[in-house]
Structure 1
């Protein structure tokens, strides 16, 4: 994409760390179903749990903690309650809403079919555009990213997405909202 950081030389995301309920099930899903190599495992000191790292491409990693005393997630608070296009996607401030993996546009439809073939429940394909609805069923020149969503065994929302065009100055056209603009209560 365009732009560039004039403050820090960042090379992308080193890793994003999530929390799982069952590390074996997580390994089976991320390595077995999604094909991400498991590249590092750590047994945390004092019985605190485990920390495993998966290669998700381009030198980036997706990591998971397993804590024996972690509380259960709460859909609609710690994660979205549904996939985009299928229900409520709001999650709490400070939560991880979803992880989007970049896939090549020319393999997008193939990957959709492949995940379905592996028994993964996927959302309909969403073609994101600048229309009032933000998505369309039609693929047209205004679509900037195509995506579909699915969940891991713990309900973490995942996305396969492919950019279809470069961004320019016209793509940054909205004023950022403030905390005072929120309508939700500050705490739950």
Structure 2
């Protein structure tokens, strides 16, 4: 059996690099680990961390094709972040003109959660601890 240790990172391809970079760093507060421009690919690669843990690679490519994300398309369904206070999180997002879906309750855990969309309509979940 493979001995997996943890999830190393999630890779996201964005359509507007600067817009997505601002969203993930200024709105979600992820830390920039490294940013490189790969001239041969005409592509940026932004390595991001959460609480010092490397977690997301944000890529830009010229003219990436759109990926359907709803309703329930194949592939990565969403990216989820744990938060201490969901009401405070939603209030902050609203102050940045980001609309959250109505808060729901996980029927199995009783925990509250909601979704927003990143600049490319990738579903982002906030799950209250």
Per the normalisation by structure 2, the TM-score is 0.87
Question: Structure 2 unaligned runs (5+)?
Answer: none
Q: Structure 1 pair 39/58, CA: closer, same or farther in 2 (3 Å)?
A: closer
Pair member with larger Rg = 1
For the pair 1:159 / 2:128, whether they are aligned, the reply is no
Structure 1: which 4+ aligned runs deviate by more than 6 Å? none
The answer to which structure, 1 or 2, has the higher relative contact order (CA under 8 A, 6+ apart) is 2
**Paired residue for 1:62?**
56
- Contact residue 48 and residue 67 of structure 1 kept, 8 A: yes
Question: Structure 1 unaligned runs (5+)?
Answer: 1-5, 81-87, 131-141, 164-188
**Paired residue for 1:167?**
none
Q: Structure 1 pair 60/162, CA: closer, same or farther in 2 (3 Å)?
A: farther
Aligned-residue RMSD, C-alpha: 2.0
Q: CA deviation at 1:58?
A: 5.7
Q: CA deviation at 1:41?
A: 1.1
Per the normalisation by structure 1, the TM-score is 0.62
Greater strand content: 2
Aligned length, in residue pairs: 129
